[in-house]
């Protein structure tokens, strides 16, 4: 029995040594089932040698499995587009390993396979590096976006990265953005040109479109922020210029309006407050000058009362106007004289009284004593002179009654009973009283005007008691 078992083992060993090496070994990517045991030149079979060969074969198979996995992965990542040369070198090393494998040089084949595996792993790492660098460089270039060449290179690099890894979220987003990159570049260039030409509204419109094309580009948003600042600054400068122009034209309400608009634009800008303070000062100064001009115009027109009111109002608002104080003294004197003369001219009949007549003469003398007399004063002097003379020229007055009524003229005396009586009275206001027994008294107020002719007055009591 033992002898039979020994014969069987020798036959199996001979098969492993002499028959299996003659079988064809398939290439790298076939599942081979051939024997890996190499025949020994010796007729004796070493069991340890058989075990060693078996181990090498298994090690080679494990390396080959990893090679297949990485090879297929690299093919899925379009290796032919970005490093076909190194990939082909790795494949050549694999082919050399296959040859060694078929020749039974398992240890050497493993070494060749591992070299190929290292090369494939390096390519796999290169793919990851390309993805990583593309994400960084593409984003930087999209931000930069300074030339058509940059646009072209960025699109190409994104397309390559997308071919390597279509499932990478960052690359997928870059791929979407790259489709709009040429239009985005044109919008950016156009907006820069508009900004340089200070066509801010056009630039705003184009930048808005650029943001809609690629809302992820930070520089577009920064450009829009800067543009808004430029528009704001331009608007502010326009408001300030318009305000100063209006102020120079003494259009203070318009100036205040636009300065306040400038203040809304920049609430904290000190130059706006300086402009508003300057406006208040200029407006106050202008108003004072205008009111002084108005007062002087009234002086020239001899409207002394109006000039007096204006000067007094000015000094009330600003007591520092020293020059007006001296002027006001003369204006007040002239205003009082003008008022007295006008009152006398408008009420000439008041001069019936000797006292008032004397005051009128004194007033006339004062008026005549003024050196710089205007046309109005000259006319007043002329009128008052006539009034003073006429105030003492008696006027014949005819009184009619019924010869039953007793007539008395206050401050003149009793005229008694009469039917007609003529007396001379100087111009003025008079009161006549009629009395008759059994009848109600009658009072009659009348006036005698200067140069009046055929003055007739009738007075009689006719109402019984």
DSSP 332-357: HHHHHHHHHHHHHHH-GGGGGSHHHH
Judgement on whether residues 321 and 356 belong to the same structural domain of the protein: yes
Judgement on whether residues 9 and 124 belong to the same structural domain of the protein: yes
Full domain range(s) for residue 317: 301-390
pLDDT tens readout for residues 401-432: 999 999 999 999 999 999 999 999 999 999 99
Helix-helix angle 181-196:218-248, to 10 degrees: 20
- In a domain? residue 51: yes
**Residue 251 CB partners (closer than 8 Å, separation 6+):** none
Q: Can you tell me which residue has the tokens 């870059």?
A: 174
Domain-terminating residue out of 179, 203, 227: 179
Interatomic CA distance for residues 76 and 82, integer angstroms: 12
Judgement on whether residues 439 and 355 belong to the same structural domain of the protein: no
Judgement on whether residues 318 and 450 belong to the same structural domain of the protein: no
- Phi/psi zone of residue 260: left (φ > 0), alpha (ψ -120 to 50 degrees), beta? alpha
- In a domain? residue 211: no
Q: Can you tell me which residue has the tokens 């499932």?
A: 167
- Residue ranges in the chain modelled with pLDDT below 70: 1-53
Judgement on whether residues 330 and 448 belong to the same structural domain of the protein: no
- In a domain? residue 344: yes
- In a domain? residue 203: no
Judgement on whether residues 315 and 412 belong to the same structural domain of the protein: no
Interatomic CA distance for residues 258 and 235, integer angstroms: 11
- State the burial class of residue 276 (Cβ atoms within 10 Å of its Cβ: 0-12, 13-18, 19+): middle
- What's the confidence (pLDDT) of residue 50? 67
Judgement on whether residues 14 and 158 belong to the same structural domain of the protein: yes
- In a domain? residue 249: no
Helix or strand run (H / E) with residue 210:
helix 200-213
Domain-terminating residue out of 347, 362, 390: 390
What are the tokens at 367?
């008026």
- What's the confidence (pLDDT) of residue 353? 87
Domain tally, the chain: 3
Judgement on whether residues 369 and 405 belong to the same structural domain of the protein: no
Judgement on whether residues 408 and 384 belong to the same structural domain of the protein: no
Phi, psi (5° rounding) for residue 311? Answer: -65, -40
- In a domain? residue 74: yes
**Residue 22 CB partners (closer than 8 Å, separation 6+):** none
- In a domain? residue 223: no
Domain-terminating residue out of 179, 214, 233: 179
Helix-helix angle 47-76:106-144, to 10 degrees: 20
Give the pTM.
0.57
Check if the beta carbon of residue 462 is closer than 8 Å to that of residue 428. no
Judgement on whether residues 382 and 429 belong to the same structural domain of the protein: no
Judgement on whether residues 58 and 170 belong to the same structural domain of the protein: yes
Judgement on whether residues 412 and 378 belong to the same structural domain of the protein: no
- In a domain? residue 362: yes
């Amino acid at each position: 029995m033992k002898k039979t078992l020994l014969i069987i083992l020798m036959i199996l060993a001979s098969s492993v040594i002499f028959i299996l090496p003659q079988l064809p070994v398939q290439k790298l990517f076939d599942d081979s089932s051939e024997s890996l045991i190499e025949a020994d030149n010796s007729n004796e079979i070493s069991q340890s040698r058989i075990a060693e060969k078996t181990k090498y074969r298994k090690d080679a198979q494990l390396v080959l499995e990893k090679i297949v996995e990485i090879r297929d992965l690299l093919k899925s990542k379009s290796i032919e587009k970005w490093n076909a040369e190194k990939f082909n070198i790795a494949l050549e090393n694999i082919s050399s390993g296959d040859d060694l494998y078929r020749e039974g040089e398992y240890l050497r084949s493993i070494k060749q396979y591992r070299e190929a595996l290292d090369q494939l792993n390096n390519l796999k790492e290169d793919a990851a590096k390309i993805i990583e660098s593309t994400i960084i460089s593409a984003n930087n270039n999209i931000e930069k976006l300074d030339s058509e060449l940059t646009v072209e290179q960025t699109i190409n690099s994104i397309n390559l990265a997308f071919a390597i890894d279509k499932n990478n979220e960052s690359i997928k987003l870059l791929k979407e953005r790259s489709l709009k990159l040429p239009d985005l570049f044109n919008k950016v260039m156009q907006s820069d040109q508009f900004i340089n030409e200070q066509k801010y509204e056009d630039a705003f419109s184009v930048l808005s479109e650029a943001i809609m094309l690629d809302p992820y580009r930070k520089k577009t948003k920064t450009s829009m922020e800067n543009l808004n600042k430029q528009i704001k600054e331009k608007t502010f400068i326009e408001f300030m210029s318009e305000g100063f122009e209006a102020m120079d034209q003494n259009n203070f309400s318009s100036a205040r309006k636009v300065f306040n608009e400038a203040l809304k634009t920049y609430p904290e800008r000190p130059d706006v407050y300086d402009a508003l303070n300057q406006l208040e000062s200029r407006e106050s100064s202008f108003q004072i000058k205008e009111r002084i001009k108005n007062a002087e115009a009234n002086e020239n027109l001899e409207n002394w009362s109006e000039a007096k009111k204006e000067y007094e109002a000015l000094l009330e608002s600003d007591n520092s106007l020293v020059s007006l104080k001296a002027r006001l003294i003369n204006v007040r004197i002239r205003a009082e004289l003008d008022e007295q003369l006008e009152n006398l001219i408008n009420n000439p009949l008041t001069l019936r009284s000797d006292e008032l007549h004397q005051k009128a003469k004194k007033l006339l003398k004062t008026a005549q004593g003024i050196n710089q007399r205007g046309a109005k004063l000259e006319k007043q002097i002329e009128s008052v002179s006539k009034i003073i003379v006429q105030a003492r020229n008696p006027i014949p007055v005819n009184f009619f009654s019924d010869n039953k009524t007793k007539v008395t003229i206050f401050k003149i005396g009793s005229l008694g009973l009469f039917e007609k009586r003529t007396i001379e009275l100087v111009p003025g206001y008079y009161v006549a009283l009629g009395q008759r027994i059994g009848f109600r008294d009658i009072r009659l107020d009348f006036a005698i005007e200067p140069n009046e002719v055929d003055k007739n007055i009738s007075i009689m009591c006719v109402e019984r008691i």
